[in-house]
Amino acid sequence: MGAMAMKIYNGYAFAVLFAIVVFGSFIANSATTGTMDMSTAILLKVDQSGNGDFKKIQDAIDAVPSNNSELYFILVKPGTYREKLQVPADKPFITLSGTLASNTIITWGDTGEIIQSATLSNTFGTSGKAVALRVEGDRVAFYGCKILSYQDTLLDDAGRHYYSNCYIEGATDFICGNAASLFERCHLHSLSTVDGAITAQHRNSPSEDTGFSFLGCKITGVGTALLGRPWGPYSRVVFALTYMSSVVVPQGWDDWGDQSKQRYMINVHSGINSHS
């Protein structure tokens, strides 16, 4: 994750997390509403050099008690942390914060079943599913983070999530899942050479209040890419006030041969939307 502001997004905890992310901040927060006073948070420092409370991020997470009701702020000092992290569902009120995305990195390499392979910044490669971050929890926020992999980079699985000023990179279905999420001022970068899909939203019923909304974002890439394809029959994705470089093909969406799946993947061309 990249550098993250000391902002709170009220919510519950994660269930299972990541692969590799480059650090800003993410917050897995409370079941209450309203603004939280971070001055009351318990500070835990992670420093590979030994000048902190822990050398590993997971050790700091493990130190937070189950069914926690206090704010914890885990400050991660610069370094490359080779860990596969998990924030359990019974540990809410946690903020993880690094300094800069360029110098605070969490990395691992894994593939296989997408629920278990998440590893923040996933260095597995291009030959299979390699989730970098899995988010399954309500009211979780990410600020200034880099989320990097190739296929299924961000498994935005379930719950309500907020991504602000994040950089998300991949080639195939690299933002996928069935959460209700807002991506604001994020940079989406496609590594696909030919018509890879940026999104694969998994809404299965018209009654589900889920979908991906991209507001004020930017899309770039190395080849050509589709805005998305429907993982579920009622996939819902909206791009608004978003800059789209020529990497986005005029077709826009791939409906997998079923035109009825186009109806929820619309409202794409509102606001600033250029091919240049």
pLDDT at position 263, please? 60
pLDDT at 36: 61
Partners of 133 in the beta sheet?
A: 154
Given a cut of 70, the residues of the chain with pLDDT beneath it are 1-37, 110-128, 256, 258, 260-276
**What confidence score (pLDDT) does residue 112 get?**
61
Per-residue confidence (pLDDT) for residue 129, from 0 to 100: 73
Residue among 138, 152, 156, 254 flagged as catalytic: 152
pLDDT for the residue 20: 38
Which pLDDT score, from 0 to 100, does residue 191 have?
Answer: 95
Q: Which of 110, 138, 173, 254 is catalytic?
A: 173
Is residue 152 annotated as a catalytic residue, yes or no?
Answer: yes
Known catalytic residue at 37:
no
User: How confident is the model at residue 207, as a pLDDT?
Assistant: 93
Question: In three state form, how does the secondary structure of the chain look?
Answer: CCCCCCCCCCCCCCCCCCECEECCEEEECCCCCCCCCHHHCEEEEECCCCCCCECCHHHHHHHCCCCCCCCEEEEECCEEEECCCCCCCCCCCEEEECCCCCCEEEEECCCCCHHHHCCECECCCCCCCCCCEEEECCCEEEECCEEECCECCEEEEECEEEEECCEEEECECCEEECCEEEEECCEEEECCCCCEEEEEECCCCCCCCCEEEEECCEEEECCCEEEECCCCCCCCEEEECCEECCCECCCCECCCCCHHHHCCCCCCCECCCCCC
pLDDT value of residue 85: 84
Tell whether pTM > 0.75.
yes
